[in-house]
Structures are given as C-alpha cells and as structure tokens.
Amino acid sequence: MKVFCGRANPTTGSVEWLEEDEHYDYHQEIARSSYADMLHDKDRNIKYYQGIRTAVSRVKNRGQKAIVLDIGTGTGLLSMMAVTAGADFCYAIEVFKPMADAAVKIVKKNGFSDKIKVINKHSTEVTVGPDGDMPCRANILVTELFDTELIGEGALPSYEHAHRHLVQENCEAVPHRATVYAQLVESRRMWSWNKLFPVRVQTSLGEQVIIPPSELERCPGAPSVYDIQLNQVSPTDFTVLSDVLPMFSVDFSKQVSSSAAFYSRQFEPLASGQAQVVLSWWDIEMDPEGKIKCTMAPFWAHSDPKGLQWRDHWMQCVYFLPQEEPIVQGTTHCLVAHHDDYCVWYSLQKTSPEENGRVHQMRPVCDCQAHLLWNRPRFGEINDQDRTDQYAQALRTVLTPDSICLCVSDGSLLSMLAYYLGAEQVFTIESSAASHKLMKKIFKANHLENKINIIEKRPELLTTADLEGKKVSLLLGEPFFTTSLLPWHNLYFWYVRTAVDQHLKPGAVVMPQAASLHAMVVEFRDLWRIRSPCGDCEGFDVHIMDDMIKVSMALSNSSFPHGPSPGLGGRGVCRELFSFGQKSHVLPVLGPVLQPLI
C-alpha cells in the first residue's frame, strides 16, 4: 500500500505531498537512528556488561532464579549479555517493530532464542500472569531509556509503570542509579543563542541601534534543551560561577515517580557576574556500591580527562535561565532544577523554594514568537556584530538615495539595515504568520512600523500593487529560510530571485550575487561511528542490524535522475559556483550537483 507524506520542499519552500511506501516512516527512523553509534560506545557497553554480571550474581547468591526484564532492548544486546552472565530468562521489550523484528533475528543468530523472548510492545502494555506476556514479575530490570537530558525519552513513566506492574519490589536494576549535575556560568556567546541583543549600525548620521522588543527580553525562551558537545566549547567562552552541583538522583531499583518535582541546591558563587546559563550532564552507576560508573561529564569535571569516551548519542546540555541575574561572590543563592515527565529546566532563587513556600514552577514556554521562528544558531547569527558590519559594508556599496529594496529572507534584520543606510523605500516578504508577527514587533519597537512595508505572502504571489507600483532596484537576502533543513537549502533564494524577476528594474542589483558550495573529504577520529557498521559488539554478532540500516538508508536518502555531478565525485576540496545575478530556471540541476554532499 502507498501513503502520501507531506514535507517542505527546500527548493521552493512549499509543502508537497509525495507518494511513499507504507514503511517510509520506519525507514526514515532507522536511517537517521544512532543505533550504531551506541553500539560503538565501548565504555557504555563494558559498564553495562559489568553491571549486568554483578546484578545476576547478587540474585543467584540469594538462591533465586535470575529473571530479567530488558526495556528498550534494541538489538537485544543487553539481554544477550544477561544470558551470557547466567540469567535464567530474559523478556526483551521493543516497541519499534522493525527493531523488534531485527532483535528476534539477532537473538536467534547468536543462539539465545531459548532464553530470550522479544516482545513487540510498549512496556506499559506488557501483561504479567499465566496468559500474559510474562508468567511472573522479573527480579532484574535492565534498561537503556536515556537521552542527553536523561529523562527526555520517557524514562520516568516507564520506570514507574515497571515497578508497579512488571518487576518485584526492590529488584536489582542496571543501571542502579542516575545523578544529574549542573554548573552555573556566565557566557555572552551562549546567551546570544537565546536572546536578541541590540544590533548596532553605523550610518552617515551616526550610530543607529536596533533594540529588541520588550516581549523578547521578557520571554523565558524555548523550553527545549540544547544538546551540545561541551568538550568542543572553548573554556574562554564562559566564566564559571558555581562548583559542579549534584542536583538530583534517581534510584532505579525502587519505585520511581514521574510526578513533577523540583530540587534546590545552595551555593556560594565562585565569582561575581551575570548568571545566564546552566551547563548540565549526568552519570549512571551500574551497581549499588557505585563502583561501575558511566559519566557524561565534560573534560574539566571528568575523573580521567585523557580517557574520555567520545559519544554522540549522549552529550551534555545547555539550559538558559528565564532571565539573566546578577550574582555577587560571598552571597548565597539557590539553583533549582525542575522536571516533569520529559523535561528539565532551571531557575535561580535567593532562598530555597522549601523555605519561602514556593511550589513547583511550570515549564517555561516561548510567548514572543522569536524562539519558534529562530533556532539557537540563528539567534547567534543575528547577534554576531561582525557579521552585521559586513552586511552593512556590502549594502553601502550598492545603495543609493533612490533605491527600492525588497528583502526576501525569513525574520531578517536586513530590511532595517537597508532603511538606516539610506534606501528610499524598503519592502520585506514574510511568508509565514509567525515571522510576520515577529517582524511587526521588532519594527514597532524601533519606530519603523510605518517605514518598512511587510508583505505576508509567498514570493511567487507578489503583485505590482504589493510594491505600490514600483520596480525593485535591490533584491537582497541573507539568505535564511525556515524551510531550510540543510545549509544548501538556502539556495531557495535562487528560486525566489526567478519568481520576482518581473518586479525588478533592468540592471537591478541582487545581493548576494553568487553562492558557492564546498565539499571536503576528511577523516574523523570519532564522528564516523554514527554511520559505521558495527558487525561484532562485545562478542555478539549484530550484522543483521547493520544490514537493516543499510537498506533503510538506501531507501530514504534522496536520489536524483540526472546522476551525480562529475565535478564533485573525487577527493579533496570541491567547489560549485551559482550565480544569482541572472534569471535562471536551473533548479532541477541542483539535485545532481548536491547529491555527493547529502
């Protein structure tokens, strides 16, 4: 059976409906998964194996059979480890059917079919009893339900249900415990990923400052965590304001609650500054004694910085406080970690919430539109004053007092630069309601609501009336478009340039005038693992998973009828140049040109 899938076409910016195989979503999920990256994580695998061995031994030493429940089994690796360690039987739960089917095959290939039962259900649907999926409750709980935020994949509700319905009281759990850590820092660079700073423009009349609307300044920001490899962030990019604080722990061997909660930690600042950002990570202890530990700590908080395990499936987190707050060395503050079923967020308070009677705060939600329109890197771009200065310098070379400008980027400040630098009239196209609403706020805050005309429609629908009967002498864009998933999708600007050609004056200037795509064949020390076949993992054959991913990638990755561009097929640095200066219906050619880069 065929299904229709809607998606944004990055070339035209429009939503298109394409006919796909009924298993299209499955293949997309598998092709973009991090299964192989997790299996290449040697530190993770070894620690889990050690933890499982000790858990099975403790149960056996009590004279009991070792019955294992493995939630989120994936390839079945942890279940196979458990059987090898002496477990009597394993129930391996996997809700994703293609992965469950692969686990059945992998378990069979490795000779464990008589000791492992793969159950293709969500763990909350598993039944226990004579006619159930499991005849009795398990006494060992093995899971790998964690993401960068620890709880973002629903670990807490899954554990809560498992303890109520699937495992024995005070069962052995691998991992046994998790602890979340936080460190408060001041970082103008990271803060620029969350707030709009004043933007300065040098004009012939002096300096103009683009100020953010009050709604943006008050907005607590996006509620989602920002995953990041903190080991790749320069220590000069932030000032440490607190020690590393253990915020809260979860004991997985006991009943777990998924109810909303908060945890506060008092601290004395290490330095005075602006509290802006919380850096966070977690570790898991595989055994009750805490001797077998797997940590996500960055190098400055790691017990063995030289022995860091690189991993991309688990990283560190950056959280932004709702507002920056000044703190002074020698005073006492409370950092508060809040969480619900799936998210963690932080606040800074003068006293403990328990002392002043405050209750758990609701998760912050963006109400200014900016965090819905701009992602964190986009905030960073707009706040990059050097970048703004270069755009202003380029605009000065082409603007004249009679310039009629049309800006075609989403949520861009270029239209404001053009106005401040002396254009006669400026129009900006904002295709989405969100970007239109946001730009109206920014224009109003800077008293430009009657100076710059916002056109809320798609570029190909632009009419002469929208431009008040005028012809455009300068077409400009950054370019940045919210429909762009990959950098080269911003070549949508090329499509726009063609779509509005009838509205351009003869000899009109198009800026940028050209774009080039660069590719380089490199060797990564670590990153290659996210797509590398695993083959053998801790002595278990998982080739079946490798083959499954290979098939899904072949079905999911774009293919183009014209074949690859010969100019991009070799090693070394490759470059293709695209000119925006001429009207051109060249978009079908972009497929083969870009294919080797995707």
| Nearest-angstrom CA–CA distance, 87 and 52 | 9
Q: Domain holding 237: CATH number? A: 2.70.160.11
The catalytic residue positions are: 144, 153
| Nearest-angstrom CA–CA distance, 196 and 199 | 9
C-beta separation of 284 from 293 below 8 A: yes
Global pTM value? 0.88
Examine the domain organization and report whether 368 and 388 are in the same domain.
Answer: no
* pLDDT at residue number 554: 79
Which has the closest alpha carbon to 68: 146, 172, 170?
172
* pLDDT at residue number 588: 33
For the sheet with 138-143, list strands across it.
116-119, 89-93, 67-71, 138-143, 167-174
What's the domain count of the chain? 3
The answer to the question of residue 163 being in a domain is no
* pLDDT at residue number 198: 97
Examine the domain organization and report whether 333 and 400 are in the same domain.
Answer: no
Tokens of 103: 């686990």
Which has the closest alpha carbon to 394: 481, 477, 480, 495?
477
* pLDDT at residue number 195: 96
Tokens of 232: 């790749």
The answer to the question of residue 548 being in a domain is no
* pLDDT at residue number 17: 54
Examine the domain organization and report whether 366 and 264 are in the same domain.
Answer: yes
Question: Computed from CA positions of residues 126, 131, 135, 136, in that sequence, does the dihedral angle turn out positive or negative?
Answer: positive
* pLDDT at residue number 284: 98
The answer to the question of residue 81 being in a domain is yes
| Nearest-angstrom CA–CA distance, 284 and 173 | 11
* pLDDT at residue number 551: 84
Q: Domain holding 500: CATH number? A: 3.40.50.150
The answer to the question of residue 273 being in a domain is yes
Examine the domain organization and report whether 360 and 422 are in the same domain.
Answer: no
The answer to the question of residue 596 being in a domain is no
- pLDDT tens, per residue, the chain with 598 residues: 454 555 556 656 555 655 555 555 667 777 777 677 889 999 999 999 999 999 999 999 999 999 999 999 999 999 999 999 999 999 999 999 999 999 999 999 999 999 999 999 999 999 999 999 999 999 999 999 999 999 999 999 999 999 999 999 989 999 999 999 999 999 999 999 999 999 999 998 899 999 999 999 999 998 789 999 999 999 999 999 999 999 999 999 999 999 999 999 999 999 999 999 999 999 999 999 999 999 999 999 999 998 899 898 899 999 999 999 999 999 999 999 999 999 999 999 987 766 555 555 788 899 998 998 899 999 999 999 999 999 999 999 999 999 999 999 999 999 999 999 999 999 999 988 889 999 999 999 999 999 999 999 999 999 999 999 999 999 999 988 888 888 888 888 988 999 999 999 999 999 998 888 788 898 888 888 888 899 999 999 999 999 988 888 877 765 433 333 333 333 344 555 656 665 543 333 333 332 222 2
* pLDDT at residue number 563: 34
Range of the domain at 484: 384-516
The answer to the question of residue 365 being in a domain is yes
| Nearest-angstrom CA–CA distance, 173 and 145 | 13
* pLDDT at residue number 205: 86
The answer to the question of residue 392 being in a domain is yes
